[in-house]
Chains A and B, each alone.
Chain A
Amino acid sequence: QQQVKQSPQSLIVQKGGIPIINCAYENTAFDYFPWYQQFPGKGPALLIAIRPDVSEKKEGRFTISFNKSAKQFSLHIMDSQPGDSATYFCAASPYSGGGADGLTFGKGTHLIIQP
């Protein structure tokens, strides 16, 4: 049973466009939602994270939008650049456990930003 569903699987956007990656979760105990960025041959790196007490969080060109009632969250990349080309993973966990249960990941989105 996949607890975090991520879409699309792959995405191609022109430079300067705004790629949007969506995730939906089922487990109502989840209350910590990070996004990870992974370049080929590297480990995932935390990009931005949100908790459900806010509906939006921005860090630089990256924004998470969160809809608690729909159990959905999404990543937006403003003014996308070729250097943003990577695989992006959404994830979720119960925050109160402090990480004791690990993260449940989506299957990933392979993003290509064309020059």
Chain B
Amino acid sequence: KQEVTQIPAALSVPEGENLVLNCSFTDSAIYNLQWFRQDPGKGLTSLLLIQSSQREQTSGRLNASLDKSSGRSTLYIAASQPGDSATYLCAGSSNTGKLIFGQGTTLQVKP
């Protein structure tokens, strides 16, 4: 059974800092790995999707990596801004598309 863990649960950093969010999963048969952002009281916004044949994806200041052999994914945020404050969720999926979510990392970027 796939389990997804995110560390840390919460993170507070000053504006401008580069930071890394961690995600680990137990089943290396993962098909793809997605990172989502959730703002308070709102739904999820997909940030990056890494397919099993890929090792990383980039979008703007965001870079996500996937290492299936070690069961880990990281989300790197460069030059953080107050607008990046949100909860970041990672989710692994099987080839049927069923997503298993971690509990999230709540990020606060202080001006």
**Do A and B share a complex?**
no
Interface residues of B (CB under 8 A from A): none
